[in-house]
Amino acid sequence: MTLARWTLLLGASGLLILGVGHGIGLMSTPAEASMGETGRILYLHVPTAWVAMLAFTAAFIAAIGSLWTGGARWDLSMESGIEVGMVFSVLICIQGPIWAYPTQNYWWTWDPRLTTTAIMVVAFTGVLVMRRLIHQHERRMAATAVATIVSWVNVPVVYFSVEWWDSVHQDLSQVSSVDKVMLVPLLVSLAGTSLLGAAFFLARYRIALGHYQREEVAPELPDLPAQLELEDSP
């Protein structure tokens, strides 16, 4: 099966499962005890944060593979993981204030979780900017792999920040801490969002692979028409 078909399959499956999860969460479960109807954003916010950290971790692993092997596919996977992580991180930063204002009466505060998340976004934005500024492939691959590894160090800090420091943010979401009625739609939404994240990753990887193949085959033709792109590798 080609990358394009895998992307379509994962994306369609993710949307379907996500729709089921959100349908259950919005229509079948009761309102959260302390936050009321606003608490239903849990089914969106937690999966989004999960996929963001998962994507950045995939980029971290790819960065190690890139440095270890010098392989272009590791480098392209790293770039794809970072960009997917950035998309979901931006969504986190939008969803957070929407959740916080009705429940905490503020849009933003320099809470440890929020601050470390902002640092994470800025750090990985810097990696993407670096990739645009360095044009020589080998130098770009090595420099951005190191930068990705350094930036990823903050990812577990974001996750554990609510345990390491006093925080107004809710505690870590764990299976044991979520009511069973709310757990089912949360896990279903988590599965759907994860599949969507995987589809985004494959879609971005295909784009990056096409660009790389054109550069390798015809570096003197940077504007090679899209119809001349090489086929997906098996």
The SS3 call for residue 32 is: strand
Are 154 and 89 spatial neighbours (Cβ–Cβ below 8 Å)? no
Element (H, E) at 144: helix 137-152
The pLDDT of residue 188: 94
Which pLDDT belongs to residue 224?
Answer: 39
Q: Is 2 helix (H, G, I), strand (E, B) or coil?
A: coil
Which of 121, 141, 119 is closest to 131 using CA atoms? 141
The pLDDT, as a whole number, for residue 168 is 66
Q: Which amino acid is at 166?
A: D
Taking residues 166-189, report their average pLDDT.
Answer: 73
Quote the pLDDT of residue 231: 45
**What does the pLDDT read at residue 176?**
58
What is the C-alpha to C-alpha distance for residues 96 and 154, in angstroms, rounded to an integer? 19
**∠215-217-223 over CA atoms, to 5°?**
50
Would you say 141 and 66 are in contact if contact means Cβ atoms under 8 Å apart?
A: yes
Most trustworthy range by pLDDT among 60-64, 164-168, 209-213:
60-64
What does the pLDDT look like over 213-232, one tens digit per residue?
A: 877 654 443 443 444 344 44
Task: Give the model's confidence band at 170: pLDDT under 50 very low, under 70 low, under 90 confident, else very high.
Answer: low
Average pLDDT over residues 111-117: 88
Confidence band of 173 (pLDDT split at 50, 70, 90): low
Residues in a beta bridge with 36: 32
Give 163 or 217, the one with higher predicted confidence: 163
Residues in the chain: 234
Percentage of the residues of the chain whose pLDDT score is greater than 90: 50
- The Cα 108–Cα 91 span in angstroms is 15
pLDDT of 113 strictly over 50: yes
Give whichever of 58-62, 72-76, 104-108, 109-113 has the largest mean pLDDT: 58-62
- Whether 155 has a pLDDT exceeding 60, the answer reads yes
Would you say 124 and 81 are in contact if contact means Cβ atoms under 8 Å apart? no
Query: Tokens in use for 141?
Result: 């691959």
pLDDT band at 96 (very low <50, low <70, confident <90, very high): confident
Q: Give the residues across from 32 on adjacent strands.
A: 36
The token pair at 189 is 């939404």
pLDDT digits (tens, 9 = 90+) for 25-36: 888 887 766 677
Please tell me the distance from the alpha carbon of residue 64 to that of residue 74, in angstroms, as a whole number: 8
pTM of the model: 0.84
Span 38-54, pLDDT tens digits = 778 888 888 999 999 99
- What average pLDDT does range 108-129 have in this prediction? 91
DSSP assignment letter at 36: B
